[in-house]
Amino acid sequence: MGTQVLGILNVTPDSFSDGGRWVDTEAAIAHGLAMVAEGAAIIDVGGESTRPDSDRVDEATEAARVVPVVRALVDAGVQVSVDTTRASVAAAVLEVGATWINDVSGGLADPGMLTTVARRGGSYITMHWRGHAREMGANAVYDDVVAEVARELAACRDAALAAGIAPDKLVLDPGIGFAKTAAHNWAILQHWDALDALGFPLLLAVSRKRFLGTLLGTADAPRPPHERDTATAWLSGAFAARGVWGVRVHDVRASVDAIAAATTLAGRSEER
Ligand code: PMM
């Protein structure tokens, strides 16, 4: 199968790049469907911002934001993922037909998460994580970021499998930007083979992230989030050409196009 595009649908007032735009349920559903029309295979719905320094929302608020959107997208025949670290939210959205749980804590934030997903037969994206938003800056300390991220992600993989999540329903993500500096992010991207060696499909999630703003901006002004889509799409294409399972992006059309061009150039397009 070719690289999947996961369209980001943040139903939050404060996400770093699209916060506030899709808080209204109807607007969120319409945006999800628009991303499907552009070629997204999965819509990743989030009700809690993971932006560095953001505060947590309570469980009821998070569920109230995402459940109606998930239900409507599922009813429309869309494959839905939900970005949550909470087992209760995972249970609620799997109940209304979500296929994927995208857990940025890799099962570490909520001790009930892995068994909840396993019991309900959910598919699971497990991400490398070192603490909630307010703590993660202080945790961006590594001797060898590639080796440590690979090792810690392998532990998440093993915990998910031990809890009973099916091997064919597991995807790994190194968590670009989570407890990582720009240099750490680039090192991980440059040494992606260390993640391929973990033996599972991988998700690339770089869309509009701060390290791209730093790369493209000036010393005192990073490029704003909405002007990071060309670099995001280029990375989608480059990683699709080397067989990445999926890319999680805001601008679906740009990545779909970049993936088509890059995989054709690399001779992989017959896999699409
Ligand atoms: N990044 C964000 C949110 N969810 N999920 C996964 N699996 N990987 C990520 O890197 C990731 C994520 C950051 O916030 P955004 O939704 O505003 O991009």
> In b/e form, how buried is each residue of 157-178, taking b as 16+ CB within 10 angstroms?
bebbbebebeeebbbbbbbbbb
Instruction: Answer whether residue 16 shows pLDDT above 60.
Output: no
- Is 157 marked active-site? no
Report if pTM > 0.75: yes
What average pLDDT score do residues 141-161 get? 98
Question: Using an 8 Å Cβ cutoff, are 237 and 258 in contact?
Answer: yes
Two structure tokens written together for 252 = 């679906």
Instruction: Answer whether residue 241 shows pLDDT above 70.
Output: yes
What average pLDDT score do residues 49-72 get? 88
- Whether ligand 1 lies within 6 angstroms of the CB of 206 is answered as no
Neighbours of 64 (CB within 10 A): 15
Which of 248, 251, 255 has most ligand 1 atoms within 8 Å of its beta carbon, as the pocket-test mutant?
248
Greater confidence (222 vs 270) lies with 222
Which of 4, 5, 6, 8 has most ligand 1 atoms within 8 Å of its beta carbon, as the pocket-test mutant?
8
Instruction: Answer whether residue 230 shows pLDDT above 90.
Output: yes
Give 270 Cα–ligand 1 centroid separation in angstroms. 29
Greater confidence (165 vs 22) lies with 165
pLDDT of residue 132: 86
Q: What value does the mean pLDDT of the chain take? A: 94
Instruction: Answer whether residue 19 shows pLDDT above 70.
Output: no
Closest protein CA for atom 3 of ligand 1 = 50
How many CA atoms lie within 13 Å of 163's alpha carbon, on the beta-carbon side? Answer: 27
Model confidence at 133, pLDDT cuts 50, 70, 90, reads: confident
- Whether ligand 1 lies within 6 angstroms of the CB of 36 is answered as no
What average pLDDT score do residues 108-133 get? 96
Closest protein CA for atom 11 of ligand 1 = 205
- Is 209 marked active-site? yes
Give 1 Cα–ligand 1 centroid separation in angstroms. 23
What average pLDDT score do residues 15-32 get? 76
* Residue among 65, 86, 157, 209 flagged as catalytic: 209
Question: Using an 8 Å Cβ cutoff, are 145 and 180 in contact?
Answer: yes
Give 125 Cα–ligand 1 centroid separation in angstroms. 11
DSSP letters along 202-260, please? BEE--TT-HHHHHHHS-SS-PPPGGG-HHHHHHHHHHHHHTT-SEEEES-HHHHHHHHH
pLDDT of residue 272: 45
Greater confidence (21 vs 168) lies with 168
Give 77 Cα–ligand 1 centroid separation in angstroms. 24
Model confidence at 118, pLDDT cuts 50, 70, 90, reads: very high
For the chain, how long is the longest CA-to-CA vector? Answer: 49
Which of 50, 51, 82, 125 has most ligand 1 atoms within 8 Å of its beta carbon, as the pocket-test mutant?
50
pLDDT of residue 18: 63
Residues 6+ apart with CB under 8 A from 164: 114, 115, 118, 119
pLDDT of residue 55: 75
